[in-house]
Structure formats: structure tokens, C-alpha cells
Structure 1
Amino acid sequence: MKRLSIYAGVAFLSAALLLSGCVSNKKFRSLQARHDEMRAKEQALTEKYQEAQQQLSSANTRVTSLEDQIASERANVKSLQEALNQCLTSSNQGNVNISKLVDEINASNRYIQHLVNTKNKSDSLNMVLTNRLTRSLSREEMQDVDVQVLKGVVYISLSDNMLYKSGSYEISDRAGETLSKIAKIIADYRDYDVLVEGNTDNVPISQPNIRNNWDLSVLRGSSVVQALQNEYGVDPKRLTAAGRGEYNPVAGNDSESGKTRNRRTQIIITPKLDQFMELIDKAPESSPNSEDVPRDTTRTSPLRQ
């Protein structure tokens, strides 16, 4: 619009000059200068217009980009809100599960405490059993008898010199008094099972009715079991005879003293297995009373080396 106005002005001046006839040089130069000035302004305005158009286009591009970002952020916010709602729902369910888990943990702790109390009772009984047995044995008998408590099990190790006739599985006369004392202790502890296990050194046996050390060890264990049953009245249902030959040594077989230690029969006294299985299969309904826990829980060390 401004450009048309300028041209119109120039045309009007030119027409006026033509109508008026002649115009002085001074006046013409003035009009020419005015015309050049107006052309310069027109050029400047055109450049500004073009620059403004470019800025507007750039601004529109930025607006479009911002609108896209806003739309993306709104979608992200919606997704986060949905995830939050799902978490809140899961959390409510999780609180219920946590409560159940706490109850189960408490029940497990009560069960563990019950097992600990039972083990402490067993350890205390083992201590009493061991003390009674060692007090009943004479000093001479203790030369051939070793009593230990290892991992809740009582081990009574008897030397073959005391138990058997040389190179035989027949029980000697001097073993009778010692076995009678052991049998009395076993009979008093009815909740314990008894395993009698024969052991030998690595010297091969040469007997017509004994094939090897396996046979000898089992026969020796069986001899003690039958003596406990037939001569001392131990319930045979509590007894088990076994042999380990030369394969469970407690010393080296490269010396006579080592071989002597390896030639032994062990009477192993353990709580009945079915009682332990009952504990495993069924947890207690309530926590045991604190007074059930024995005060003396000292570990038992071997009485003799």
C-alpha cells in the first residue's frame, strides 16, 4: 500500500510539472532527490518485510515443534499415571502378602527355637549319659574304652584287646564286666538307638571261615550286639550291627600303635531317627516355654585322646 502511495505521489508530481509547463532546474533536482529518498525507504521496507517473513516462518516451525513435545509429554504423563495406579493396586495386594509372609516367618522362628531347645535337651542328655558311663568305669577299663560326644552323638570306642580273643570275633571273658556297665546305660536311655560298628587295621585276615577284614569287622559288631541282647537284656529292636573293615581308620597303619587304635569296635548311641523325622514333618503349634531350655549348653569335648 505504501509503495502504491509513493508511486502515486511521483506520478502526481510529474503530471503537475507537465501541466505547469516548464520547471526550474533547482525544483527538478529537489523532486529527484525526494524520489530517490522514497525509493531507498521502499527498499529498506522491503528488506524488513522479507526478514519478518523469515522470522515468522521460523517461529511457526518452533511452535509446531513445541506442540509436538507437549503432546509427547502429555502421553508420557498419562502412561506414568497408569503405571502409578497399577503400582498402588499391586502395593495394596503386596501389603496382604507381606502380612502373610511375616506370619510364616514368625511360625518358622518358633519352629527353629523348638528345634534348638530339642537339640539342647539332647546335648544335655548326652552329657549325663557320658558322665554316668565314665563314672561307672574303673581306671583299668578306661585304658581300653574311649568315650566321646561328637555332633550330638555318643561314641564308645572299645579296643579289640579288651573285647575279643586274639584274631577272633568271639568276645573275651574280661569284656563281660565292661559290656554289662555299657548295657545298663543303654537300657536306661530307651529313646536312643544303638549301632555297633566293627573296625580293623589293614593287615589281611587269614582264617578259613573269614574271607577278609570286611567279614571280621561285621562279625565283631554282630558279636557285641548279640551279647548286649542275649546276656544283658538290651531290646534287639534298638540294636544294629555293622562293620567298616579297614576303611575307617583313626590313625595310620604304618605303626603298631596306629594299628592298635584302628582295631576297635564302636558303640554309637543316637536319638531315635523317627523322633527327628517327626520334628521335621510337623512344626510346633506354639513356641516352647523358655524354662524348657537347659541352662548348661557347654559343648562336650572328648574325655580321652
Structure 2
Amino acid sequence: MKQIIGLLVFAMLIGACVPLKQFEELSERNGLVEDEIEMLRAENDALKVKSNEYESDLERAKKKVDALVSDTLSLSKRLRRQQFQYEDLNASYTELLKGVKSTGAGNGKNKELLVYLQKLQDDLLKREDALLKSEEELNNQKRELRAAIEELEASKAKMLSQNKRLQELETALSQKDEAMLALRKSVSDALMGFSSDELKVHMKNGKVYVSLEEKLLFSSGSYEVNAQGVSALKEIATVLEENKSINVIVEGHTDNIPYKSAVLKDNWDLSVKRATSVVRILLDNSSIDPIRISAAGKGEFLPLKKGNSANELRSNRRTEIILTPKMDEVLNLLDI
């Protein structure tokens, strides 16, 4: 008889180890989802910083273009003045040269005129050189202006693209937050028949937490859900069934008083069994896709309150159902 009992206990322990491994894998997968959500929040902040940088670059490019436009206009005006002066000087030189040729270069007056014409010609050549230099400077300025305008347009396009992506990300995150607020209300409404000392519904880090007291679900040291607990879990299952874009993590928590039974080794085993018991009831009473749900046991290692008073120990003995939004849409925006 003792051998038979021993075999039964061994079989139960083996049976408990198999789901525990699966739950650890599921818990790890949901941990990765949580990390991705935090990464998205950080990416959102980084995009805002980058958008501000693009706006600064755009403002600098605008100022550069404005300065180049002003310089180009100034150079154009100076070039026109030089062209007018050159044309007037060239016309005067041509008239004087005609006069000398018509009267001949023999007399003294014409000799003086020729000296003046030579000087005028030299001045004309200098003006011509200055005019060519100004034209070259103006052409360089125009090329620089075109390059600055292209840079400005590129900055504008980059900023518009960045702002569009930022807006899409913010919209997606906002929609997720709104959906979670609506979910919290749905869960709270569904559980109105239960008192606040039996369960609490709250939001933290964009997730909905349903914290169920031990007395609502289990007897002391047990992992069999009582009738009242089954009733509460059925209400929650109905809400989850209607919200297919929500992932669910069920966490079992205990106090720090050592526990051991013929089947369970310690508080950690107890917390795992309680979590799996809750998962089974949620699935048995709904059409929820099992892939959406994972179970995990935290034992006494994540207490709500640190202390050993009766009230503190009672608060730590709880089961938490954590509702997390699927982030597929947001991940697609970031090409993750």
C-alpha cells in the first residue's frame, strides 16, 4: 500500500513539472512582449527628440537660404550698376575715339585727347575685369543658393516623414491606452457584485491588473478554486472573450510563511498551481484562445507589502490577472 501511495505522489509531481515548464516558457514570451512595449515607449520619446532636431536643422537651413537670397539680390544690384557704368564708359570711349579719328591725331589737343582715351581704355578694361569677377561671384552665389534650397527641401521632407511616423506611433499608442481604459471599465463593471476587499481592478504601465484576494478564490494552502471564485472568473472570462486583442498573464503570489505538503514542495509550487487552476477555469468557461493566456508562479518574491503583520501577509496572498494589449500594429510601424 505504501508503495502505491508513493507511486501516486511521484506521478503527481511529474505531472506538475510538465505544465510548469510550459508556463515558464509562456511567462518568458510575455516578458518579451512587456520589454517590447517599454522599447516602443522609449522609441516614441527618441522620435520626439529627433523631430525636434530636424526642426532645428530646418530652421538653420531657412536662415541660410534667406541670407543667401539677400546676398544674391545685393550682388545682382551691384552687377547691374557695374554693367550700366561699363556701358556708359564704353559709349564715352567710342564717341571720343570717333572724334579723334575725324579730326586727325596731328595737333596737340588731339594728342592730349589720345592720352585721355588711353587712360579711359585702361579704366574700361578694369571695369570689364570687375564686371566679369562680379558675374562669376554671382553665379557661385546662385549655385550655393540652389544647393541650400535643395538641402532645405530635403530637411523638410525628412522632418515631414519623421513627424508622420511619430504621429502614427503616438496614435497607435493612444488607441492602445484608450482600449485598455475601456477594458478596465468593462472588467470593473463585470465585477461590481464583488467587494473591494475581495478584488481590485487598476491600471499600471498601460496594463490592466485584476488583483484577487486569496479568500475569494482559495482555502488556505489549497489550489482548488471555490464556488465564489469560479463565479468571479467566469465574469472575467466573458470580458476577455469579447476582447480578442488582449493577452493574459495569470500570476500566483503567496506570503513568506514556509509551506509544504505531500504534493507541493514550497510556496512557489503552490503559487504555480493556483495560477494554472485559474487559467483552466478561464479557458473552460469561454472560447478564449489558449495561446493568449500564460500562467506563472511568483511565490513570496513579489510582495505588495513588506512585513509580517496579519494584514500585510493577507495582502501578499493574491492572484493577479494582468491584461496586456497586443502590440502588433505598433511593432509594424517600427518594422520590428
Q: Using the TM superposition, give the Cα deviation of residue 123 of structure 1 relative to its aligned residue in structure 2, in angstroms.
A: 1.9
Matches within 5 A, 1:1-305: 96-281=150-335
Moved more, 97-106 or 183-192: 97-106
Residues 141, 178 of structure 1: 8 Å contact kept: no
Q: Using the TM superposition, give the Cα deviation of residue 205 of structure 1 relative to its aligned residue in structure 2, in angstroms.
A: 1.1
Q: Distance in 1 between matches of 2:141 and 2:324?
A: 54
Unaligned runs of 5+ in 2: 1-138
Higher-helix-fraction structure:
2
Q: Distance in 1 between matches of 2:257 and 2:158?
A: 57
Q: Using the TM superposition, give the Cα deviation of residue 237 of structure 1 relative to its aligned residue in structure 2, in angstroms.
A: 1.2
Q: Using the TM superposition, give the Cα deviation of residue 93 of structure 1 relative to its aligned residue in structure 2, in angstroms.
A: 5.1
Q: 1:215 to 1:96 in 2, by over 3 A?
A: farther
Q: Matched residue pairs, number? A: 198
Determine which structure has more spread, i.e. the larger CA radius of gyration.
1
Residues 180, 325 of structure 2: 8 Å contact kept: no
Q: Using the TM superposition, give the Cα deviation of residue 240 of structure 1 relative to its aligned residue in structure 2, in angstroms.
A: 0.8
Q: Using the TM superposition, give the Cα deviation of residue 99 of structure 1 relative to its aligned residue in structure 2, in angstroms.
A: 3.1
CA RMSD of aligned residues (A): 2.4
TM-score normalised by length of structure 2: 0.54
Q: 1:252 to 1:91 in 2, by over 3 A?
A: farther
Q: Using the TM superposition, give the Cα deviation of residue 88 of structure 1 relative to its aligned residue in structure 2, in angstroms.
A: 9.7
Report sequence identity in percent. 32
Q: 1:140 to 1:271 in 2, by over 3 A?
A: closer
Which residue of the partner structure matches residue 110 of structure 2? none
What's the CA shift string for 1:113-166, capped at 9, x where partnerless? 122222222222222222222222235443311000112111111111111122
Q: 1:215 to 1:86 in 2, by over 3 A?
A: farther
Residues 251, 297 of structure 2: 8 Å contact kept: yes
Which residue of the partner structure matches residue 289 of structure 1? none
Q: Using the TM superposition, give the Cα deviation of residue 97 of structure 1 relative to its aligned residue in structure 2, in angstroms.
A: 4.3
Q: Using the TM superposition, give the Cα deviation of residue 212 of structure 1 relative to its aligned residue in structure 2, in angstroms.
A: 1.8
Q: 1:90 to 1:268 in 2, by over 3 A?
A: farther
Q: 1:177 to 1:99 in 2, by over 3 A?
A: same
Residues 172, 329 of structure 2: 8 Å contact kept: no
Q: 1:197 to 1:275 in 2, by over 3 A?
A: farther
The code of the aligned residue for 1:160 comes to: E
Q: Distance in 2 between matches of 1:215 and 1:186?
A: 27
Q: Distance in 2 between matches of 1:261 and 1:226?
A: 24
Q: Distance in 2 between matches of 1:266 and 1:99?
A: 53
Which residue of the partner structure matches residue 44 of structure 1? none
The code of the aligned residue for 2:313 comes to: K
